[in-house]
Amino acid sequence: FTAGQTDLPLVGKRVLITAGPTREQVDPVRYFTNYSSGKMGYAIARAAARMGADVTLVSGPTALEKPAGVRFVPVESTEEMFQAVMKEYQAMDLVIKSAAVADYTPRIKYEEKVKKNNGSWSVEMEKTTDILSVLGEKKEQQVLVGFAAETGDLERYALDKMKRKNLDMIVANNVIQEGAGFSADTNRVVIFKKDGSAKEYPLLSKDKVAEEVLLQAMELMHL
Ligand code: CTP
Ligand code: CA
């Protein structure tokens, strides 16, 4: 796709995007989560809709307005996100997993509020389902795109995730660099593809990063 060919390069394509954090409840008044704002995923959903795609946005809890012209599926926990994503997966042409999924969830979810006492409280956590790994295992026609949020060796960790989760492309960002990360309106990413290519971008608005992510994914879709 090059500008001018058509303004709606994704017409007829079904695109599934996950965004935001997940929320893991421990009792009716408390939960574990992370700093994800959802801004990156929502920007991708808006951009895909502008390009004509049939967009489904599965979102954890965020403070953002739900994008116009997309099918919106709100979820809370990783388990709910997993169920929602699996229901949609088969029909999709492109799946972009920008959600910051909780890696652990409390082993016990108390039905009543846990009262404080004089001692400390240890919460035992168990691993959640790695949604993207399951999508990688079940991949058919879908182009599968993951994100990697890192604070260390970006390239090594991102390439490892792309391989391990059977992805076609991974968008890596260092979440503690200036102007990037969770609540910022800008991001600085490197996009790795399974053919070994790497493309490093300067600091850009999340809207611009969203367009680049879609343009790169469209190459993999042969558009
Ligand atoms: N992911 C997922 N399900 C999980 C954890 C992560 O689908 N339970 C997805 C994220 O949506 C993202 C990708 O996997 O697209 C990478 O997430 P990230 O947190 O960077 O990697 P992890 O594999 O969870 O490893 P770690 O957090 O230890 O770096
Ligand atoms: Ca993780």
| Mean pLDDT in residue range 82-87 | 98
| Mean pLDDT in residue range 77-90 | 98
Kindly state if the Cβ of 103 falls inside 6 Å of ligand 1: yes
CATH 3.40.350.10 matches 14-103+126-220: no
Q: Write the pLDDT tens digit of every residue in 56-82.
A: 999 999 999 999 999 999 999 999 999
Q: Which residue ranges make up each domain of the chain? A: 14-103+126-220
Q: Give the position of tokens 């604070």.
A: 151
Q: According to the model, what pLDDT value does residue 6 have?
A: 64
Long-range contacts formed by 151-155: CB under 8 A, 24+ apart: 151/175, 151/176, 154/190, 155/190, 155/192, 155/198
Confidence at 1, pLDDT banded by 50, 70, 90: low
Distance 170 CA to ligand 1 centre (A): 11
Sequence ranges of the binding site:
103, 113, 147, 161, 165
For residue 208, give the H/E element and its range.
helix 206-220
Nearest 5°: phi and psi at 219? Answer: -60, -40
Sequence ranges of the binding site for CTP:
103, 113, 147, 161, 165
Distance 6 CA to ligand 2 centre (A): 37
Kindly state if the Cβ of 96 falls inside 6 Å of ligand 1: no
Cα–Cα distance measured from residue 48 to residue 43, given in angstroms and rounded to the nearest whole number: 9
Ligand in closest contact with the CA of 100: 1
The phi-psi region of residue 92 (left if phi > 0; otherwise alpha if psi is between -120 and 50; otherwise beta) is beta
Distance 147 CA to ligand 1 centre (A): 7
Give the ipTM of the model, two decimals please. Answer: 0.99
Query: 24-27 and 30-32 as β-strands: parallel, antiparallel, unpaired?
Result: antiparallel
Confidence at 121, pLDDT banded by 50, 70, 90: very high
Whether the full predicted model's pTM is greater than 0.80, yes or no, is yes
Indicate if the pLDDT at residue 176 is higher than 60: yes
Contact present, 115 and 94 (Cβ < 8 Å): no
Cα–Cα distance measured from residue 20 to residue 49, given in angstroms and rounded to the nearest whole number: 18
Cα–Cα distance measured from residue 125 to residue 36, given in angstroms and rounded to the nearest whole number: 20
Q: Which of 9-23, 96-110, 178-192 has the lowest mean pLDDT?
A: 178-192
Cα–Cα distance measured from residue 21 to residue 207, given in angstroms and rounded to the nearest whole number: 19
Q: According to the model, what pLDDT value does residue 2 have?
A: 56
Q: Write the pLDDT tens digit of every residue in 127-168.
A: 999 999 999 999 999 999 999 999 889 999 999 999 999 999
What residues does the ion ligand 2 have nearby, CB within 5 Å? 103
Contact present, 104 and 128 (Cβ < 8 Å): yes
The residues annotated as belonging to the active site are 34
Indicate if the pLDDT at residue 211 is higher than 70: yes
Kindly state if the Cβ of 193 falls inside 6 Å of ligand 1: no
Distance 176 CA to ligand 1 centre (A): 17
Kindly state if the Cβ of 78 falls inside 6 Å of ligand 1: yes
